Structure 1
Amino acid sequence: MGRSHDNLTGFSYHRLTANVDAAESLRALRNLVDRAPPTRFKQIYMRPDGRLVSAEMLATLFKENDRIVATLSWKDEVAAALSPNALYKMALHVWHMYRCRIEELGPELFGDFVGAILLHVYLAEAEGRCVSVSEIAGLVGLNTKTTARWVSALRQRALISLSDQDAVNVQLSHQGIMAMERMLTTAMLPAG
């Protein structure tokens, strides 16, 4: 789970359970019978970096001690679903939806320039390309000067950095990558 032993021992599962799984986990735990053989169910946990990890849990309730004893087996289902390739495909889908909204609604009614800039830089990096401010400007439908101001604002928020001394090529910072991966992960998970 990407957590130390001290960050796991003695904490409620609520603190570690992913929001998308909280209701189902609560239902499964409420259905446990005191001192019955272990019950098997799946659980999704949130890692400290925001990624999700799936586990299979065997749990037994001990009402007398107000305690649940559980054994976890880690699965890679969620990790595979949220692989770099899956995140890239979701980024392409989001970019396609952005372009469709521009075409359908017109640029005067729709313009998420910050999102488009971050998304384009993310896609360029995933494809192994360098991307310049002027290239971003052309793709998001802004002039270069306005795009440079947005890039500057994103740099101030530590989401973007410049990859060369001439300040031509733009790349995501570590914080920017983490933010994009969390947003793309959220887009991939069912609402609820």
Structure 2
Amino acid sequence: MEANPRGIPKAPFVDNVGEYLKTDTVEATLRKFTEAVSKYKFMENSKLQQRGSLEQKIPEIEKTLAMVEYLAEQRGSSEPVKTMFEVNDTLYAHAIIPPTETVNLWLGANVMLEYPLDEAQELLANKLGIAKKNLGETNEDLEFLRDQITTMEVNTARVYNWDVKQRRAEKEAKNA
């Protein structure tokens, strides 16, 4: 079975409904297609959450990287750096940062580590690159999933319409 680069299976397109239904009943096929659409929608919701998380994380990494780069530029100066830092979404505080060679970075799970400025820049640049790559892949997956959902919904409609036609033809044959 075909799949995208991250292993999401490609939905088969039912070109000839009559041929396709030789191996299964209409009800079982419709049930199978409905289940597939549900699975694709579940994956889509998961990817949407992942995208939201990445879209929130990337600006934070960019801001942190910009500040570390600024501190690295000010490294040779004897003047302290005056800045405002974000305490919360809408709360900022003034800070005076003496010339420094290290920064403390939150790694997550209530863990903070001290890094030399160069290592911090490298770490943040790598994290930013990975996050942007993941965002691109997530957007590709979402587009792929939408296509698969559409394909399965079209398949469902084609099987249903084929069944309606067959029942009408049988009814007309009985009445004739």
Q: Same fold (TM over 0.5)?
A: no
Question: Which structure has the larger Rg?
Answer: 2
Give the TM-score normalised by the residue count of structure 2: 0.26
Q: For CA contacts below 8 A with separation 6 or more, give which structure has more relative contact order.
A: 2
Give the TM-score normalised by the residue count of structure 1: 0.25
Query: Counting helix residues as a fraction of each chain, which structure ranks higher?
Result: 2
